[in-house]
Structure 1
Amino acid sequence: MISLWLLATEEGGYGFNFDILETNLINLVIIWGVLFYFGSKFLGNTLSSRRASIEEAIQDAERRQREATKALDEQNKNLAQAQSKAQEIVQTAKQNASKAREDILAQSKTDIERMRAAADQDVSFQQERVMRELRQRIAQLAMERAENELPSRLTPEVQNSLVDKSIALLED
């Protein structure tokens, strides 16, 4: 207001001042004053609302970070449990495979021993059968030969001698 009064008194009244240097400075001061007076509330409200939204976004980001950290910890815990369970499964599978291997080896040994015993028994049986057949054949051949040679060797003197020996054996 003072600047307007000064302008009016210098020129002799109210009017336009066309001096660029003077008017720019005065105009700038007026614009700054108007902006400061009216704009401070608007700018203050805008800045405070912007500040509130930024603070809210920061709090939201921090909350999401805490949730993500919590979820990450939970997933790491689940992963550790899964790895532990996988190790247990692998260990159990190794134990089962080892036991199955031992069982198969024991069963194989039993089967081999049984097969050997059966084979030995079969061989013994076959040997006995062959020996029996050989004895029968030898006995048969001996009988046939004896029947063939007996009539030619059995003379009346040999017959009498045999009868006498048989009687002597009976008397004793």
Structure 2
Amino acid sequence: MKNVTDSFVSSVYWSFAESFGFNTDILATNPINLSVVLGVFIFFGKGVLNDLLDNRKQRILSTIRNSEELCKGAIEQLERARARLRKVEMEADEYRINGYSEIEREKVNLINATCDSLERLENYKNETLHFEQQRAINQVRQRVFQQALQRALGTLNSCLNSDLHFRTISANIGILGAMEEIID
């Protein structure tokens, strides 16, 4: 147990002995050694550090150049896409305008064709009506003429006797004789 106590006392002694304070002994603090080590480190490490920084700088610059080239390529593709879009929009507008004008033209042609057909049908209807009217009028005339002829024949047959018949024939012969003299 003496060892444990001795070690405790010794640790307490050393902890107070190394307490906070300012050490003025230059050799004990080793600033010369530290400055030499730092000088060597800076002298030899400077090239390595410069190489590392230059490599890092070159990678960053290369990445920036690649990014700029990709950006330029993307801008060019965007401009080409915009030009194609404008072209397609113009073609779409042209098709739309041509389509509407074609539709209007077809509509006018259809209206004109329908009007022509209606006019022909109207003319055909009028011609058919006129033809049917003429046919009906001719049929009525034929019936009236037949009825008049039948009445006249009936009247003649009832009124005509041989004396009247002889005088009618003589008068007609006289008319024909007078016509013959005029012709000669």
TM-score of the pair, normalised by structure 2: 0.68
- Whether 1:78 aligns to 2:88 is no
Which residue identity is paired with 2:146? Answer: Q
Give the structure 1 partner of residue 13 of structure 2.
none
How does 1:24-63 map onto structure 2 within 5 Å?
26=31, 29=35, 32-33=38-39, 35-63=41-69
How does 1:79-98 map onto structure 2 within 5 Å?
79-98=85-104
Specify which of 116, 123, 134 is matched with residue 122 of structure 2: 116
Give the structure 2 partner of residue 67 of structure 1.
73
Which residue identity is paired with 1:63? Answer: E
Going from structure 1 to structure 2, the CA distance change for 1:37 and 1:63 (only over 3 Å counts) comes to same
- Whether 1:169 aligns to 2:175 is yes
Residue 36 of structure 1 aligns to a residue whose secondary structure is helix
Give the structure 2 partner of residue 145 of structure 1.
151
Report the Cα distance in structure 2 between the residues aligned to 1:165 and 1:118, rounded to whole angstroms.
52
Report the Cα distance in structure 1 between the residues aligned to 2:156 and 2:30, rounded to whole angstroms.
172
Structure 1 portions without partners, runs of 5+: 1-17
Choose between structure 1 and 2 for higher RCO, CA contacts under 8 A separated by at least 6 residues: 1
CA deviation digits over 1:113-166, x for unaligned, max 9?
A: 322222222122212211221111112222232333333222445434433432
Going from structure 1 to structure 2, the CA distance change for 1:132 and 1:77 (only over 3 Å counts) comes to same
Which residue identity is paired with 2:147? Answer: L
Report the Cα distance in structure 2 between the residues aligned to 1:24 and 1:135, rounded to whole angstroms.
156
CA deviation digits over 1:26-59, x for unaligned, max 9?
A: 4865664454344333322222211111111111
Give the structure 1 partner of residue 160 of structure 2.
154
TM-score of the pair, normalised by structure 1: 0.72
Give the structure 2 partner of residue 100 of structure 1.
106
State the number of aligned residues.
155
CA RMSD of superposed structures (Å): 2.9
